[in-house]
Amino acid sequence: MMLETMLALFAPVIAQLGLGVDAWSLILIVGTVIVYFVVAIATHVTDTDEFYVADRSIPAIVNGAAVAADWMSAASFISLAGLVSFLGYDGTIYLMGWTGGYVVLALLIAPYLRKYGKYTIPDFIGDRYYSDTARGVAALATLFVSLTYIAGQMRGVGIVLSRFLGLDITIGIIVALGLVALIGVIGGMEAITWTQAIQYTVLILAFLIVTAAISLDLTGNPFPQMALVTSDIGARLTQLQADIQMGRYIVPFREYSQLQVFAIALTLMIGTAGLPHVIMRFYTVPSASDARRSAGYALFFISLLYLSAPVLAIFAKFNLIQTLNGASVSEAQNIPWVERWSQTGLLTINDKNGDGVIQMTQSLTSEASEVFIDPDIIVLATPEVAGLAPIVIGLVAAGGLAAALSTADGLLIAMSSAVSHDIYYKIFNEEASQRKRLLVARIVILAAAVVAAYLGINPPGFVAEVVAIAFGLAAASLFPPILLGIFDRRMNREGAITGLLVGLIFTLVMVVLMRANVVLGFEEPLLDSFLGLGALGIGLYGSILNFAVALIISRFTPAPPDDVIELVEEIRYPRGSREAIAADGGSETTSDD
């Protein structure tokens, strides 16, 4: 590939610099952070339109890159390939759920909400259901979803900074969140949009380069998807795992039952379509048609990583097993990358039978295995395992940090908007000046960063698991009232509020019970599963309850006012289309918005 060729051309110059992994990591991480700050200072905002929605002036292609960065969090960059690598077939539920959900968001949600033209999801819910109570409950749901989601991002930040800069994870999380909060305080959505576009560039370059490099190393083909099809490496990995009694790689329903696979994939799908920080991005473009175009760009940008992640997962695991299985324990522990990652506690080698040889005969995430590897290090460690150049390893570190920070940016602004705009301004003080509203928004960013730091230091699981729980909360709370608010004219405030509360409370309670050992400090979870589903898929039951309660109650309570029904009609149809349909005697006509 061109990028790999360019790196090869500059390799002699890079080698002469004599810089190692840590030096390149420091240069690239600090360098990209400086760029983010320069953008924030250059886009300093002074009014609420700029702070909340970037004055609705972002070009579609730039917004598409920002959406991709906002949506492809540390879970996508750091954890997705690890999940597919370790879970095999079952790990693809994350691919199916997240990508399928984006299609739902792009087709059924984003254009309509952009045409509505407000600031936030609670803004839409409050107006659509003609209720400050609905607005407040939606804002509360936004906070729960965003805080859970940001905990996963901060774990990713901690992993990157502890390994590549040698920082204590707690200190790394505090420093990173401080930087993100400062960018949001200075530049609001304007700065966050442009920094996210830059962060997408950094993360996608890092991911594609390392995938192409390991593909070239293992197969001689720098085009990974083609290499996977034309080589037998998938079959070799399956046979290799069978030979060492690790279990065949491409076998469905080993880790999850059919019900769990279906439930988790569907929960991630509808949860994606209810994420407040992603939906807010579509308010930043000039029109609904621009929202559609930016959704198309984002889908292309996302596909670059999602078509590469499964390939990297297979190559990385094959390379890992070949490198460690059967090796001398003492020699393996002295391998530089093993020594460095062991210091983080995310990789351990333990000669349990005392024969001096590593035997990978268990799941690599099992404490009973002679080799324990946290799934979150697969992407970050692969360049070192493959012996790639230090600059590539440093670029992957910068990419991992960019993925986590880009999503953290969006989540902080979503929480800030929910409190300052939807609660403070819309409910308690509609006379507040722009200056006061901006002050409150900036204070909320700082406060949210403090809470997020605590959750990042004490996350309820690995990156993708925490993110999946956040998606479940979004699926159970925000997605139903958004979808019904657009497509069900009869849905009223009584149904929407009750359904939202039932879905949110049910899912929160279930997650707390199933994660009581982490959230409440208990020795064991209080509940393993509910009707066959655990914490990752329980959001599906929450969303079903939300839909059912909302629909039933809305049919036994007064219909929405006529002006609300008119609002629904205006959102769903292009301007002038209804008049044109009536004039043509019912024939279908459309017009640009």
Helix (H) or strand (E) holding 144: helix 132-164
CA atoms within 13 Å, Cβ hemisphere of 429:
10
Question: Is 537 inside any structural domain?
Answer: no
Backbone angles phi, psi at 293, to 5 degrees: -65, -45
Inform me whether the pLDDT recorded for 583 exceeds 70.
no
| pLDDT given at position 543 | 96
State how far the Cα of 395 lies from the Cα of 209, in Å rounded to an integer: 9
State how far the Cα of 189 lies from the Cα of 441, in Å rounded to an integer: 11
Distances (CA, A) of 2 to 86, 94, 204, 213, 223: 30, 30, 14, 12, 11
Strands 371-373 and 347-349: antiparallel
Bridge partner residues of 357 (DSSP): 328
Question: Is 57 inside any structural domain?
Answer: yes
Helix (H) or strand (E) holding 373: strand 371-373
Question: Is 209 inside any structural domain?
Answer: yes
Question: Is 378 inside any structural domain?
Answer: no
A 10 A CB-CB count for 243 gives: 10
How do residues 471-522 score in pLDDT, each as one tens digit? Answer: 899 999 999 999 999 999 999 999 999 999 999 999 999 988 888 776 666 7
586 pLDDT tier (thresholds 50, 70, 90): very low
Question: Is 129 inside any structural domain?
Answer: yes
| pLDDT given at position 399 | 87
State how far the Cα of 261 lies from the Cα of 406, in Å rounded to an integer: 29
Q: CA torsion 81→84→86→87, rounded to 10°?
A: 160
* Average confidence (pLDDT) over 386-409: 83
Question: Is 403 inside any structural domain?
Answer: yes
* Average confidence (pLDDT) over 543-566: 95
Inform me whether the pLDDT recorded for 134 exceeds 60.
yes
Tokens (6 digits) for 232: 């037998």
State how far the Cα of 504 lies from the Cα of 497, in Å rounded to an integer: 11
State how far the Cα of 156 lies from the Cα of 435, in Å rounded to an integer: 35
Identify the top-confidence range among 274-288, 448-462, 499-513. Answer: 499-513
DSSP 90: G
Question: Is 37 inside any structural domain?
Answer: yes
Give me the number of domains the chain comprises: 1
**Contact present, 476 and 506 (Cβ < 8 Å):** yes
Counts of helices then strands in the chain (DSSP H, E) = 29, 2
Backbone angles phi, psi at 335, to 5 degrees: -65, 130
Question: Is 350 inside any structural domain?
Answer: no
State how far the Cα of 232 lies from the Cα of 211, in Å rounded to an integer: 17
What value, to the nearest 5°, has the Cα angle with vertex 59 and ends 58 and 60?
Answer: 115
Contacts of 414 (CB under 8 A, 6+ apart): 120, 142, 146, 276, 277, 280
445 pLDDT tier (thresholds 50, 70, 90): confident
**Contact present, 405 and 452 (Cβ < 8 Å):** no
Tokens (6 digits) for 419: 């409190």
Name the average pLDDT for the chain: 82
How do residues 154-204 score in pLDDT, each as one tens digit? Answer: 777 777 877 777 777 788 788 878 888 888 888 788 888 888 888 899 889
* Average confidence (pLDDT) over 238-245: 78
9 pLDDT tier (thresholds 50, 70, 90): very low
**Sign of the four-CA dihedral 353, 357, 362, 363:** positive
18 pLDDT tier (thresholds 50, 70, 90): low
* Average confidence (pLDDT) over 390-418: 85
| pLDDT given at position 453 | 80
Backbone angles phi, psi at 287, to 5 degrees: -150, 170
Question: Percentage of residues in the chain with pLDDT exceeding 90?
Answer: 15
A 10 A CB-CB count for 426 gives: 22
The packing angle between helices 132-164 and 463-477, to 10°, is 170
CATH number at residue 264: 1.20.1730.10
Bridge partner residues of 347 (DSSP): 373
Reduced to 3 states (helix: H, G, I; strand: E, B; else coil), residue 573 is: coil
Inform me whether the pLDDT recorded for 329 exceeds 90.
no
Rg (CA), the chain: 24
| pLDDT given at position 576 | 45
108 pLDDT tier (thresholds 50, 70, 90): confident
How do residues 53-63 score in pLDDT, each as one tens digit? Answer: 778 888 999 99
pTM: 0.82
Identify the top-confidence range among 153-157, 247-251, 340-344. Answer: 340-344
State how far the Cα of 528 lies from the Cα of 513, in Å rounded to an integer: 8
How do residues 33-55 score in pLDDT, each as one tens digit? Answer: 888 888 888 877 777 777 777 78
Inform me whether the pLDDT recorded for 307 exceeds 70.
yes
| pLDDT given at position 151 | 76
Q: How far is CA 192 from the centre of its chain?
A: 16
**Contact present, 206 and 29 (Cβ < 8 Å):** no
**Contact present, 530 and 539 (Cβ < 8 Å):** no
Contacts of 308 (CB under 8 A, 6+ apart): 207, 208, 211, 224, 225
| pLDDT given at position 246 | 73
State how far the Cα of 180 lies from the Cα of 457, in Å rounded to an integer: 16
Inform me whether the pLDDT recorded for 1 exceeds 50.
no
How do residues 69-106 score in pLDDT, each as one tens digit? Answer: 887 777 788 778 888 888 878 888 888 888 888 888 88
Domain extent, residue 57, equals: 21-316+389-423+435-459
Inform me whether the pLDDT recorded for 469 exceeds 50.
yes
